[in-house]
Chains A and B, each alone.
Chain A
Amino acid sequence: MGTETKRAVTSTQINLGALRNPLLIGGGAAGVLGLCCGALLSMGQGEDWYQKFSASYLVSFCFFMSISLGGLFWVTAMHLTRAGWGICVRRLCEILAMMALPMLVLFLPILIPVVLGWNSSVYSWVNIENITHARDLVEHKAGYLNSGFFTVRSILYFVIWGLLARFYLKNSVNQDSSRDPNTTLKLQSFSAPGMLLFALTVVFASFDWEMSLDPLWFSTMFPVYFFAGGVLGSLCVLTITSVSLQKSGRLTEDITTEHYHDLGKLTFGFVFFWAYIAFSQYLLIWYANIPEETSWFLYRQEGDWQMASIVLIAGHLIVPFFAIMPRTLRRNKTYMAFASIFILVMCWFDHFWLVMPQFRQEFGVIPADVLCLVGLGGLFVASFAWIAGDKSLIPEGDPRLYESLSYHNV
């Protein structure tokens, strides 16, 4: 009846082991194939094919990047709050966070055209002289929105995320063998400045990568919106990863219904948090009714993109909100895995909705969008396998692991 305390990990296999190579090769192959096919398909589309392709690419890149950042957030937040419940899934978060480094390589297709000042860059402000509409306003922002500063900033984000992630993962892995409780204290004491660094970098990264697609539009709520989507996505990835690892015979005894229940509760909370933030952003702009702010929403709210907005409200808020509301369903890990897949699709669609109206008149998902998702998804899985390596998938050496192992929801 919950009184017995489980002191140690009891699963027979707690690392990827034989699964590692198939994931690396399969993911890598899917990634290369998907991206190549996507690029080839786009090439037939006239002179600015690269811009069209990189728009599709940016959607999926931002989607996976936000998930990786969600992982970093959870590691930092768990240390910051000395959370006991989530230690069982913290290593998965640490690996997710570490994927910021491979993401740097995957960012190059976006970054290089900016550095070289190509006209086919996804960001219109790279060549201000090509802008026809309200160019003088964009020129006012040129001090911030210029190729050089953008590149420096982007690299800086990745450096900070990489260092933070490496700091957490390396110390945590060392603790597996050393069992030194001081490591936990060190990680905890660094998590507060870590959180500040995380917040600042995510704010400006979302400004740079997605908001600046429309160089005239601005919303200070945008980073929170980006963050909410990423945190939600990372929770879904945690659920899906845990369930699939357990299906393949790993961690079978140590991630329990209680942990899925908690992940489910947080998913539920962040589904609503996302909607809360989305609406907060919308309401202020709608009420103030200032043309330079409303234009962004107007384009998504009327005409062809209206349907996309309706899909987003229904699929990203209403359906998941009621679908994962009942406690019994939240404690069913198979159900939660499928619900998570649905929410992940919606998170991707959310980025599609943020990015694509800047490039296309009509709403529709084209093959290149899907191929980029598949390609980057494959590389994402491969880099997960690469980083996980032979590491234990549960922080065995954490002095408070027993708290998580014998955790019970009241």
Chain B
Amino acid sequence: MAHRSSAPESEPEIRFLGYLAEFDTTRKLLAACNQIRQAGYKKTDAYTPFPVHGIDGALGIKRTKLPFLVLGVGLVAVAVGIGMQWYVNGPTEDFWPFPGYTFRIGGMPEWSLPANIPVTFEIIVLLSAFATFFGMWAFNRLPQLSNPLFRLDRFKRVTSDRFFLMIDSDDPIFDETQTREQLEQAGAIMVERVDHDMSDAKLPGFLKPLTVCMLCLALLPPALIYRARGMTNPEPRLHAVPDMDWQDKSKSQTVSPLLEVAATTPTFLFGDGRAMRPDVAGSVAWGELSTDDRFYRGYEPGTFPTADAGSDENDVKPEPQWLTTFPDEVEIGDDLFKRGQNRYNIYCALCHGYAGYGDGLVTRRAMSLNIQGKGAWTQTKSLHDPAVVAQPVGRLYDTISNGRNSMGPYRAQIPEADRWAIVFYLKALQATNTAKIGETTAAVNSVDAVVAGSKNTDKDFGERE
């Protein structure tokens, strides 16, 4: 390259590439290949109009390593396919750079292997095909934009009825006279010296600026897309698939399809005039039977007061018999404590405060508004209030589920198991306030496992102790 760039452009640079031997039958070509291989030549290649059986062995070409490349890529594709779907759809909540979409499709678990196998399979097929195709290019050093042999007139018959064997001049045992003789002895009808003028193998001068131009143009679409993100458009949207956009169906919460309008009363498809069919009486959604009063509602089975029980003269609302111990489904331990702490800090701490003294951020703000006369907020209850400490766990659970006074119900936001975890954490919070070091109080006694868990968080409440 260095030499060429210093030389004047017009001066031809001739390189001797090797000898090209011509044969008129495959048999002669194969025989010649065998002889040349046995003579020790390595840098040889044969050119034929059609695939010739046995030419690989005759030329001494080893079996291709392509299958191993494809197998390797195929195995990588398994990891890529599974990994991609796990990252995008799996439960990867805190995963960089975005948390993924945890869609629940068809009621299946968010992450389930059967759903991901077809995509993985297709990725294996795609990447393996790429590996085969481009690996074949790489092993054959393709694409080769020009081949010096194409300039030889004789070589043009390689597409119809002639067979050629080329020996490269780079071969270690290549010799200008001896190689020619060997080829002639091997039965070549003609041996041609291939000299090639390398000077015109240079790329045309306009190609570089053109490539740069094309690359710049190729940046336009992504740039436009980038600019368009977040933009709004006053035009009505395009309807590419009209029968998907306007479907012949009734949506929920709409009027039943009208069959005919009689003289006075219209006739609906459904007599009650609703498009949506109500559930069959007594039907229960899958997994929502929740018959267990202890776990789902926090009181002993069958102790819920009947409707007329509340109308006594004292007007004291009768209460069911609240659970004093955790139901059997709740597994007491560190895990429950940590879960409870996590949920408490999310749902409860805003008002009740991290330590439960009713001094959460919302409460503080509300109280300051009260002082300024801009509101009439109720002070959030301290969870260390003796009345609250005295409440049985079932009652606390019920408060979380259904709310009390100005506190709203949380049963829609917090699943049952998490509510019990919060109750457990709450009991631990209360214990940190009432228990003295080395002393066992009644509060701790009832939930003695709590203490083990709350020790872990002592440092969080250190200043209060």
Contacts and interface: CB of A to CB of B under 8 A. Distances in A.
Interface string A94-120: 000000000000000000000000000
Interface in B81-117: 106-108, 114-115, 117
B118 A283 contact: yes
Contacts of A282: 114
Interface string A371-410: 0000000000000000000000000000000000000101
B27 interface: yes
Contacts of A287: 106, 108, 114-115
Contact of B54 (A2, A283, A288): A2
A286 B58 CA distance: 54
Contacts of B67: 327
Nearest to B106: A287
A152 interface: no
Contacts of B106: 287-289
A315 B117 CA distance: 19
A410 B51 contact: yes
A3 interface: yes
A282 B26 CA distance: 53
B27 A283 contact: no
A167 interface: no
Contacts of A137: none
B107 A283 contact: no
Interface centre among B67, B108, B114 (most CB of A within 10 A): B114
B81 to A, nearest CB: 14
Nearest to A328: B63
Interface in A268-290: 279, 282-283, 286-289
A410 B117 contact: no
Contacts of B115: 283, 287
Nearest to A286: B114
B53 A410 contact: yes
Contacts of B166: none
B275 interface: no
Contacts, number: 37
Contacts of A410: 51, 53
Interface string B24-54: 0011001000100000000000000001011
A196 interface: no
Contacts of B318: none
B57 interface: yes
Contacts of A408: 53-54
A1 B32 CA distance: 13
A1 B30 contact: yes
B107 A289 contact: yes
Interface string A132-153: 0000000000000000000000
Contacts of B108: 286-287, 289
A288 B115 CA distance: 11
Contacts of A288: 106
Contacts of B114: 279, 282-283, 286-287
Contacts of A327: 63, 67
Interface string A323-335: 0010100000000
B117 A1 contact: no
A298 to B, nearest CB: 13
B112 to A, nearest CB: 8
A283 B57 contact: no
A207 B30 CA distance: 56
Nearest to B55: A1
A188 B146 CA distance: 47
B27 to A, nearest CB: 7
Interface in A170-215: none
Interface size classification for chain B: 10 to 19
A282 B118 CA distance: 12
A316 B175 CA distance: 58
A1 B54 contact: yes
Interface centre among A3, A325, A327 (most CB of B within 10 A): A3
A289 B106 CA distance: 8
Nearest to B105: A287
A202 B59 CA distance: 49
A115 B71 CA distance: 53
B53 A3 contact: yes
A409 B428 CA distance: 76
A408 B52 CA distance: 12
Contacts of B58: 1
Nearest to B107: A289
A327 B65 CA distance: 12
Interface in A1-26: 1-3
A283 B120 CA distance: 14
Interface string B2-36: 00000000000000000000000011001000100
A343 to B, nearest CB: 21
Interface in A330-370: none
Contact of B53 (A2, A279, A289): A2
Contacts of A325: 71
B118 A1 contact: no
A1 B107 contact: no
Contact of A3 (B27, B71, B107): B27
Contacts of B117: 279, 283
Nearest to A408: B53
B136 to A, nearest CB: 14
B34 to A, nearest CB: 8
B74 to A, nearest CB: 10
A283 B26 CA distance: 53
Nearest to B58: A1
Contacts of B54: 1-3, 408
A286 B63 CA distance: 44
A408 B54 CA distance: 9
Nearest to B30: A1
Nearest to B27: A3
A286 B114 CA distance: 8
B27 A1 contact: no
Nearest to B68: A326
A289 B27 CA distance: 64
Contacts of B63: 327
A325 B58 CA distance: 27
Nearest to B53: A2
Contacts of A3: 26-27, 30, 53-54
Contacts of B30: 1, 3
Contacts of B107: 289
A309 to B, nearest CB: 13
B437 to A, nearest CB: 51
Nearest to B63: A327
A282 B112 CA distance: 13
Contacts of A289: 106-108
Given A287-B114, A289-B107, A1 B57 contact: yes
A289 B286 CA distance: 13
A138 B63 CA distance: 59
A298 B106 CA distance: 17
10 shortest interchain CB distances as A-B pairs: A1-B54, A2-B54, A2-B53, A286-B114, A1-B57, A283-B114, A287-B106, A3-B54, A1-B58, A408-B53
11 contacts: A1-B34, A1-B53, A2-B53, A2-B54, A279-B117, A286-B114, A287-B114, A287-B115, A289-B106, A325-B71, A410-B53
Interface of B: 26-27, 30, 34, 51, 53-54, 57-58, 63, 67, 71, 106-108, 114-115, 117-118
Given A1-B57, A408-B54, 15 more contacts: A1-B34, A1-B53, A2-B53, A3-B30, A3-B53, A3-B54, A279-B114, A279-B117, A282-B114, A287-B108, A289-B106, A289-B107, A327-B67, A410-B51, A410-B53
